[in-house]
Amino acid sequence: MSALRGRIADLSPAELSARLNSDGLALSVPPFTVRVRSPIPVVREGIERMYALHEHFGDDEVFCDFHLSILPRLGWTGLRCELDVDGQRPFTPLARGEAFAFFEWGLNWCVTSHCHHWLTLHAAVLERDGRAVLLPAPPGSGKSTLCAWLMQQGWRLMSDELALIDPASGQLSASPRPVSLKNESIALMRQRLPDAVFGPVAHDTLKGMVAHLRVNESSLRQAALPATPRWIVFPRFEKGATLRAVPRPKPQTLVELASNTFNHHVHGPRGFECLADLVDGCEAFDLSYSQLDDATTWFDSLTRSS
Q: Which residues bind other proteins (CB under 8 A)?
A: 1-2, 33, 60-65, 67, 86-88, 90-92, 94, 105, 114-117, 206, 265-268
Nearer to other proteins, 32 or 298 (CB): 32
CB of 110 or CB of 233, closer to other proteins: 110
CB 70 within 8 A of CB 103: yes
d(C-alpha 275, C-alpha 118), whole Å = 12
CB of 165 to other proteins, least distance (A): 14
Shortest separation between residue 222's beta carbon and other proteins, angstroms:
19
In angstroms, the CA 285 to CA 305 distance is 14
Give 34 or 157: the residue with its C-beta nearer to other proteins: 34
What's the CA gap between 105 and 266, in Å, rounded? 22
Nearest by Cα to 217 from 234, 200, 195, 199: 195
**Shortest Å distance, C-beta 255 to other proteins:** 17
Least separation, in Å, of the C-beta of 153 and other proteins?
Answer: 33
Minimum separation from the CB atom of position 183 to other proteins (A): 18
Residue nearer to other proteins on the CB measure, 167 or 200: 167
Q: What is the dihedral of CA 109, 111, 114, 119, to 10 degrees?
A: -120
Q: In the complex with other proteins, which residue's Cβ is closer, 65 or 283? A: 65
Task: Give SS3 for 253.
Answer: helix
Calculate the alpha carbon distances from 287 to 149, 250, 259 in Å: 16, 15, 19
